[in-house]
Amino acid sequence: MRWFGGSAEAQAKPTTKTSTAQRTSRRSTGFTEFTRSLAGFDKLAVLDLGPTSSANIAFLTDFGGRVYNEDILRASLDRDYATRQPDGSETLNAQKFFSENLDHPERLFDAILCWDIPDYLHEALVKPMVERIHRILKPGGILLAFFHTKDAGPDSPYCRYHIVNGEVLDLEPRPDFRLQRIFNNRHIENLFKEFASKKFFLARDNIREVLVVR
């Protein structure tokens, strides 16, 4: 795993760059597959782990069922989860964080949109988040996650994802977070080793899309 700034203090610091706020659209094969899979569920329950987007809610509720929203990255910035160490440094208390976040009944969700959160999330939260996702996702449920490739570089902007339709996503760059690490294929496979299957799609814009089935 390549690291760009894994220290605790670097983790939560947003970049000083200003947001261009210029949205770009990208066709997403992974999301297309994800959308096709949604059609097979009755009383769909979808969890969107990105920032709240009315476009996403409108799109997902069109399938019927419920859409849950939980902005994990933003929640991780809450100072209440930081624990001060004897040497004065601060670490993120994952146990406390997950007692208040992603706290859902087991096997509740049919689908989860993880976007590229693992690339930006605090190191202490990445594995526990995937374990928690495994717990709250139904068997046969699907997860869509994006990962930057090594060519993306540390300055890859954090983006909000807005669903345009079943194939196209709008990417809205935000200065709120900085890329923390790069996962290669093996890391991704290890991360989701408890899941039944993984399907990889490589895009030309240095994004690797992964569709995971529990």
What SS3 class is residue 183?
coil
Q: Cα 111 to the chain's mean position, in Å?
A: 13
Q: Which of 17, 36, 127, 150 binds other proteins (CB under 8 A)?
A: 36
CB 117 within 8 A of CB 161: no
Q: Judging by beta carbons within 10 Å of its beta carbon (0-12, 13-18, 19+), is residue 25 exposed, middle or buried?
A: exposed
How far is the C-alpha of 136 from the C-alpha of 122, rounded, in Å? 21
Query: Does residue number 190 form part of the binding site for other proteins (CB under 8 A)?
Result: no
- Nearer residue to other proteins within complex by CB, 66 or 107: 66
Binding segment for other proteins among 52-60, 112-120, 139-147, 151-159 (CB under 8 A)?
Answer: 52-60
How far is CA 137 from each of CA 1, 52, 159, rounded to the nearest angstrom?
26, 20, 25
CB 185 within 8 A of CB 1: no
How far is the C-alpha of 100 from the C-alpha of 78, rounded, in Å? 11
Query: Does residue number 137 form part of the binding site for other proteins (CB under 8 A)?
Result: no
Residue 153 zone, left/alpha/beta (φ > 0; ψ -120 to 50; rest) = left
Q: Which of 73, 168, 186, 194 binds other proteins (CB under 8 A)?
A: 168
What SS3 class is residue 158?
strand
Binding segment for other proteins among 3-11, 116-124, 139-147, 202-210 (CB under 8 A)?
Answer: 202-210
Instruction: Write down the least CB distance from residue 99 to other proteins, Å.
Output: 14
Count of residues in contact with other proteins, rule CB under 8 A: 55
Residues 66-95 vs other proteins: string with x where CB under 8 A?
xxxxxx--xx--------------------
Element at 41 (helix H, strand E): none
Instruction: Write down the least CB distance from residue 95 to other proteins, Å.
Output: 19
Residues 15-34 vs other proteins: string with x where CB under 8 A?
-------xxxxxxxxx-x--
- Nearer residue to other proteins within complex by CB, 91 or 149: 149
Which chain residues interact with other proteins by CB under 8 A?
22-30, 32, 35-36, 39, 52-55, 57-58, 61-71, 74-75, 162, 164-168, 170, 172, 185, 189, 196-205, 207-209
